[in-house]
Chain A
Amino acid sequence: MTKKNRISIEEVKHIADLARIELTAQETKKFASELSDVLGYIDQLSEVDTSKIEPVSQVTGTINAIRDDAKEDSDPDARKALIDNFPNKDGDYIKVKQVM
């Protein structure tokens, strides 16, 4: 980790693009400074010697959890309830904008 973690406006725009979030010009400016502050604070982790440490991604120590490969009846109301949640639909289909 380097001390050079000021985030530019251009970088914020690039990250927003990756994250699929539209930001206003004001938000872009604000995040450039806030993210820089937070990253600056996080920089203190570089003090810790982790050269011989294995990373941890979960704490339970379980490896695989397998259930029986058996049929389970689904909730008969679920289909309609799911469709009711569609913000845009045509009959029972989700309507989206043209991709190509």
Chain B
Amino acid sequence: MKLNELNITQACEGLRKKEFSAVELTKSYLSHIKKTDHKIKSFITVTEDEAVKQARQADKRIQNNEMSELLGIPCSIKDIINTKGVLTTAASNILKNYVPVYDATLISRLKKEGTVMLGKVNCDAFAHGASTENSDYFTSHNPWDLERVPGGSSGGSASAVAANQCLYSIGTDTGGSIRQPAAFCNLVGLKPTYGRISRYGLISMTSSTDCPSIIAKRVVDVAIVLEKIAGLDQKDSTTINKKVDDYQEYLKDENIKDLKVGMPSEYFLNELNVEIKEAVEKAIKKIESLGATIVPISLPHTKYAVPTYYIITPCEVSSNLARFDGIRYGYSANGTEEAKNLLDVYTKSRGKGFGNEAKRRIMLGTYALSSGYYEAYYLKAQKVRALIIKDFKDAFEKVDLIISPTTPNVAFKIGQHSGNPLEMYMEDIFLSAVSLAGLPAVSVPCGFVKPSDGEKEMPVGMQLIGKSFDEKTILKVANVYEKNTDWTNQKPKD
């Protein structure tokens, strides 16, 4: 097996046994990126020199018998997470030249563990999208079929891991942005509970649902990374002072006999592709055969999740993106001939610097929050959000976790939805409610389906939703399922 085809556990073992060095491991990824990224297009910035330097330091620490599962392990970071001294663009033109002066908390924690950052990966600009087609630079490609999207917004994270360009990637999930790309690329993607991982250093999109999230090849890999970056951070007052579980230890227990799995009827309706429905139902039967009890449940406000999400998100976006004004950093119209006064600098910097979807969301949010409309839209959405949260609360009185498909369809072709924002928003149909409720959810591979418009079989994902701060139960069931099936071992052909 090539060095860049390992998973975290295997790479960690190889490093400890001195079968290869961290520098060798890092260089194998860097050369693979060079060889493949012209067609996959995952990376906005490759930090080659810095990566080799970090790998050298990791080798020294390994020589000193230091133990951390992430020591010397190469990763990539979504370009919406601040990295000190390294260009961070949010895949947008307005931040084309932005170099952060500090690290996000999760980056500081990963550096302490000695992980190696290979570079910053593509996403939809400001994480607004489900395909990377809204990146102001380029669209990333799905390694399973280059004509298709890898999903989004954390699409570069998914394409990089699936194409063996890194061992894991940190993205964000605001309304499905790690779970959907994981499903599209046959990977494991975890959105933790809101408040589990610090948001300090994320370029904010929807502050009330933004979650730093993890994408990797296997459940245990995701568990390892979660353990290292989760927990209270004084710089993010929404993080919670709650014990971070020893997930790896917990995964060793493979008994799922006492668990009750809820199957929400509303998530298996018409919008769902029939073959995906069959694949997920088969996976649920498998979990039943492994000992869990399946319980039919109802989440009655499911159909209102997407419209609620698409009010709350633009409102928070319009407020969060107000800071980009062309004055302190980023693209500025100041100095151009057309900008005659300060107001011109604002309107022209933003008019030119923001892409289509960012503008659309700022406009929608500004409208919904403006005088006379606030109650009809934002306040109404916040009330429906309360009902969506209550649905889950009621369901979790009866079950320990909930299983649904991750997406209604497999990865779509590049350009297929780009003319229609509403079509694109419907991609989030199984994902938004979980985000609005702040619950943890993991997408795991559960099959392949050949789409009607293509020849290649594409991956299918299953979503496991947990109780608040109960990542350990969904990871455990996902791990047991993964071990008893062969889906994660399937790899795209070069």
Binding site for B on A (CB under 8 A): 1-2, 7, 11-12, 15-16, 18-23, 27, 31, 34-35, 37-39, 41-42, 44-46, 48, 50, 53-60, 62, 65, 67, 75, 77-78, 81-82, 84-88, 94-99
Contacts and interface: CB of A to CB of B under 8 A. Distances in A.
B359 A23 contact: yes
A59 B331 CA distance: 35
Contacts of B347: 20-22
Contacts of B384: 45, 48, 50, 53
B438 A48 contact: no
A58 B382 CA distance: 9
Contact of A44 (B304, B382, B438): B304
A97 B335 CA distance: 9
Given A21-B362, A60-B240, 19 more contacts: A2-B376, A19-B363, A20-B322, A31-B360, A35-B360, A35-B364, A37-B421, A38-B422, A45-B304, A45-B384, A53-B383, A56-B389, A59-B194, A60-B194, A67-B234, A85-B98, A87-B327, A87-B334, A98-B342
Interface stretch (B162-170, B249-257, B306-314, B446-454): B306-314
Nearest to B438: A59
Interface stretch (B126-134, B215-223, B348-356): B348-356
A20 B328 contact: no
B359 A34 contact: no
A77 to B, nearest CB: 7
B386 A56 contact: yes
Given A50-B384, A97-B345, A62 B360 contact: no
Nearest to B367: A15
B471 interface: no
A65 B199 CA distance: 15
Contacts of A97: 334, 339-342, 344-345
18 contacts: A7-B367, A18-B366, A27-B359, A41-B310, A45-B380, A45-B384, A50-B380, A54-B386, A56-B389, A57-B208, A60-B195, A81-B101, A85-B98, A85-B329, A87-B335, A96-B327, A97-B345, A99-B342
Interface size class of B (residues with CB under 8 A): 35 or more
A12 B360 CA distance: 11
A50 B383 contact: yes
Contact of A50 (B240, B350, B387): B387
B422 A85 contact: no
B332 interface: yes
Contacts of B318: 19
A65 B237 contact: yes
Contacts, number: 176
Contacts of B195: 59-60, 62
A60 B438 contact: yes
B419 to A, nearest CB: 10
Interface of B: 85, 97-99, 101-102, 194-195, 208, 234, 237-238, 240, 301, 303-304, 307-308, 310-311, 318, 322, 325-332, 334-335, 339-348, 350-352, 354, 359-360, 362-364, 366-367, 370, 376-377, 379-387, 389, 421-422, 425, 437-438, 468
A96 B334 contact: yes
Contacts of A95: 334
B234 A56 contact: no
Given A42-B307, A45-B384, A55-B382, A84 B367 contact: no
A95 B310 CA distance: 37
Contacts of A78: 101-102
A75 B443 CA distance: 39
A39 B344 CA distance: 29
Contacts of B301: 48
A18 B347 CA distance: 10
Contacts of B341: 97-99
A84 B234 CA distance: 28
B99 A75 contact: no
Closest 9 CB pairs of A and B: A22-B351, A59-B438, A65-B237, A55-B382, A87-B332, A50-B383, A85-B329, A81-B101, A22-B347
B102 A85 contact: no
B307 A87 contact: no
Contacts of A98: 341-342
A62 B237 contact: yes
A42 B377 contact: yes
Contacts of A50: 380, 383-384, 386-387
Contacts of B340: 97
A55 B379 contact: yes
Contacts of A46: 380
Contacts of A55: 379, 382-383, 385-386
A75 B101 contact: yes
A31 B421 CA distance: 11
A53 B334 contact: no
B305 to A, nearest CB: 11
A2 B376 CA distance: 8
B350 to A, nearest CB: 5
B102 A75 contact: yes
Counting chain A CB atoms within 10 Å of each CB, which of B195, B341, B351 scores highest? B351
Nearest to A21: B350
